[in-house]
């Protein structure tokens, strides 16, 4: 699958795996992909995110908050609150019984070198091909990874959209830069 990836896209995938390893996470997640996309310099995705004024520190804080909610987005937590389920209260009780941060903890032991991408990250990699083909591009760049990440609901896409970097916003910036 990676034969169509540009060097920048391969660097994002490799960087996400390295970020997971540094954190001791057993799985590479969408969160790792987002953080590497934000850290890029001179890449199409990083330039688009910078042009939109995305604040890396704010993204990290919001992703950490989503991790503490067990991977629920703010929208998910609000929807549950609408039917009387207080996610913060549930998280508090779980952490009281099992330890702080337990809902966001990943299993330890297996390393990312085993090719361990969670379902969300795998789907981003798969959708990136569809995004590239849909745009008429022959190769998959880091911008396609970013658009693929933004094309499905979830905490990572929600956090970026809250920063003004929704799918349409990023697409417009990329078209202007082309």
CATH number at residue 25: 1.10.1780.10
Q: What is the pLDDT of residues 82-119, one digit of tens each?
A: 888 876 777 677 767 776 655 655 554 444 444 689 99
pLDDT digits (tens, 9 = 90+) for 24-75: 888 899 999 999 999 988 999 999 999 999 999 999 999 988 887 777 677 7
pLDDT (tens digit per residue) in 61-89: 999 888 877 776 777 777 777 888 876 77
Contacts of 170 (CB under 8 A, 6+ apart): 48, 49, 52, 143, 146, 147, 150
Q: What's the rounded Cα separation, in Å, for the pair 73 and 78?
A: 9
Domain extent for 158? 2-177
**Exposed / middle / buried, residue 154 (Cβ in 10 Å: 0-12, 13-18, 19+):** buried
What is the pTM (predicted TM-score) of this model? 0.81
Give the tokens for residue 32.
Answer: 């790792």
Q: How far apart are CA 65 and CA 7, in angstroms?
A: 32
Query: How many structural domains is the chain composed of?
Result: 1
């Amino acid at each position: 699958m990676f034969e169509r990836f540009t060097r920048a896209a391969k660097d994002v995938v490799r960087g996400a795996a390295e970020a997971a390893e540094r954190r001791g996470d057993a799985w590479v997640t969408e969160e790792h992909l987002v953080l590497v996309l934000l850290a890029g310099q001179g890449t199409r995705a990083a330039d688009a995110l910078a042009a939109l004024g995305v604040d890396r520190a704010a993204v990290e804080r919001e992703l950490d908050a989503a991790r503490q909610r067990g991977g629920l987005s703010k929208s998910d937590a609000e929807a549950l609150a609408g039917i009387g389920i207080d996610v913060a209260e549930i998280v508090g009780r779980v952490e009281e019984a099992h330890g702080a941060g337990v809902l966001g903890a990943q299993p330890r032991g297996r390393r990312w070198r085993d090719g361990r991408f969670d379902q969300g990250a795998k789907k981003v990699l798969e959708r990136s091909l569809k995004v590239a083909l849909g745009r008429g591009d022959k190769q998959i760049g880091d911008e396609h990874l970013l658009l693929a990440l933004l094309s499905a609901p979830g905490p990572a896409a929600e956090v970026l959209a809250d920063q003004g970097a929704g799918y349409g916003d990023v697409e417009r910036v990329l078209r202007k830069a082309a």
